[in-house]
A and B are shown apart, each in its own frame.
Chain A
Amino acid sequence: MHPAFSVIFFTTSSGAGYGLLALVAVASALGFVPASGWFAVVSLGPATALIVAGLLASTLHLGHPERAWRAFSQVRSSWLSREGVAAVLTFLPMAVFGIAWAFCGRSDGVFALVGLFAALCATVTVFTTAMIYRSLKPIHQWHNRWTVPNYLALSFATGGLLLDALVQIWGRPQAVVGIAALVFVAMAAYLKHRYWNFIDTTKSASTPESATGLGARGKVRFLDAPHTEENYLQKEMGFAIARKHAVKLRAIARHSAFHLPFLLTAASLLLTGMPAALAAVAAAVFGIAGTLVERWLFFAEAKHAVTLYYGASEV
């Protein structure tokens, strides 16, 4: 699948933003982050910025961005529509929670509950994003049980790293925030490992034989394409550039998204002051950069069944 930059940026940025929002709300309810209204500004502010930037980027790949509002109408059948509605609905509890905390200094009682509801909405939004991919049967590398857990884990991992960096910069970190980030990064690393293992050891039930229905005669080989040059289908579904470098890119993603953030976060737990804050910030930067590479691979390694009609021998 062609990795459209707008979609890679959207899923990474909004994923991190929703993860940060969810964890800030939960940590605030549990008293693990500073209660000051200013902390609401420095945590929910970046979360909002990441979410909004991602959502705006997601409209860039549309043929008609001005009609994007129509995408809220088909929640009964379409995961893309559900994602749009969930994304917009999340802003309501998020706004109430953020305004009450930032401007009235209230993050307790009913406002904590509103915050927890915002965390739930954020999680649901990431879930709906993942389900868009999970529901596409023609793409074996997406249509499997590892897609949704990976999206959720990476959202919480990047959000957790950001939250840890923020509390470290704030100056009075609680170890539990750093430990939570470590747990989410480790979970994301494990789930990604299982995902890669799954796509390396399994393939789609669809074959050139089932695609043409000619299997009864024996092996089916592609002889001649319909056209001399690549068409839309081959450009959109037949992307193969990053697949060629998949081994290297996976190593980069593993180190940047998981190994380095884990080590840096562990270091920040042991350090204090400026070095701890720097380590935590570096962990978040590597985590997000690594997730961008991971997301690129998620697209580039996905093989669409239509390529069976254009010479692929398996998907």
Chain B
Amino acid sequence: MTSLTAPLPGSKKLGLVIDLDTCVGCHACAVNCKEWNTGGHSAPLPDFDPYGANVSGVWFNRIHTFEAGEGDSSRTVHFPKSCLHCETPACVTVCPTGASFKRAEDGIVLVNPDTCIGCKLCSWACPYGAREFDADEGVMKKCTLCIDRIYNENLAENERVPACVSTCPASARHFGDLGDPSSDVSRLVAERGGFALMPEMEYAPVNRYLPPRAAKTAVGCTGAKAELDRPADAAVLHPLLRWMDKVLSR
């Protein structure tokens, strides 16, 4: 049903916490997302004209880059964006068929590809661009929070995290229960002042972003000399002069 039901008692609010301070914009999370999900729950993720001039395809995770601020305080921020698994997602309530739904037990927002009519209304209702239409299959697709990894008992326990989280070389992505205030991710959000995107839409996103830390403007003493010794003049002389210097120095 696309009507939202109250979360079950003790249910989880699974989501991601993305650290904009440490993200280096390498796109590895997007690539691993594509790799896993093109064989996963919503497989395949099509690519059209993949080797041509107008390549396009379905991705669940895209890395944007912004500049924030002016002058010395400005900062280049790499900005990964995927489904935020909102608590009151309009993408679910606008669905006319019930194909779009939010799981009561963990809050993951999914699409049932067998009942989706491909009307695209859910993608219009999402301000975050989390949903992408698969023109090949005629249905809407979106991030599943790697539902086929996080509960997958065939994987080692430490691998039961979304593909984007497992692959991040900068550990900028964290996965956990944001409904539990004592979870690692909730503590991280509290500690770093994590925020939600476009709160004015009132979709109550579960995912949180951690702001870039303030840039250092002063350098502390590291014990190094303030200035390096000047290199010996010999090092920059002509080979002939260097030979003369060597001879005369005897």
Contact = CB atoms under 8 A, between A and B. Distances in A.
Interface of A: 1, 61-65, 67-68, 70-74, 76-81, 84, 132, 135-139, 205-206, 208, 210-233, 236-237, 304-306, 309-310
Contact of A78 (B2, B70, B120, B123): B2
Contacts of A1: 124
Interface residues of B, number: 73
A227 B79 CA distance: 13
A221 B96 contact: no
B124 A67 contact: no
Nearest to A306: B129
B125 A136 contact: yes
B245 interface: no
Contacts of A213: 195-197, 209, 211
30 contacts: A61-B119, A62-B138, A63-B139, A63-B140, A64-B117, A67-B117, A77-B92, A78-B94, A80-B96, A80-B121, A132-B94, A136-B94, A137-B201, A138-B201, A211-B127, A211-B198, A212-B66, A213-B195, A217-B74, A219-B68, A224-B65, A226-B62, A229-B53, A230-B56, A231-B56, A232-B133, A236-B123, A237-B123, A237-B129, A306-B127
Given A221-B66, A221-B67, A212 B79 contact: yes
B97 interface: yes
Given A62-B119, A63-B138, A233 B132 contact: yes
Interface string B57-100: 11100111111111001111101010000000010111111110
B56 A70 contact: no
Nearest to B93: A77
B64 to A, nearest CB: 5
Nearest to B76: A223
Given A68-B117, A217-B212, A305 B127 contact: yes
B150 interface: no
Contact of A64 (B67, B94, B118, B198): B118
B11 interface: no
Contact of B74 (A218, A224, A231): A218
